[in-house]
Amino acid sequence: MIYGNLPPPANTNGTTSYFDNFFTPGIGVSDNVNSAIVGYFQEVTGDAAAGSTLAASVLFTASQQGIAPMTLIDQFRALTPGELNAYLTMFLNINRAGTSLLGISNSPQTNKYITRAVLP
């Protein structure tokens, strides 16, 4: 097959794995661990709803990676707020598809032939 000036697709069936994490079973943690993690993120965010949502996302990612949630929170407590934002961005992207990364600006380089052919 001829692709012209476009590169050949690396994976012709790349979209099939996009929803792999969607139907995974829920995670189970004790009430004490859940309360500690939710309380920590509510304190960090200053909002109850945002803290609960962020805690659920961190718990899910930690469960998928086999990381003990309380060990993770202890590591988060040692970080400055700027470091925490950067670390959370990368930590939450571990389980996401490369096409839907959170908090990362992705500006793909435009092919020079396409740029030349498009009128300003």
The model's pTM is 0.64
Express each pLDDT in 31-88 by its tens digit: 899 999 999 999 999 999 999 999 999 998 898 888 999 999 999 999 998 899 889 9
b/e sequence 8-34, b meaning 16+ C-beta within 10 Å? eeeeeeeeeeeeeeeeeeeeebeeeeb
Token readout for 24 is 């995974």
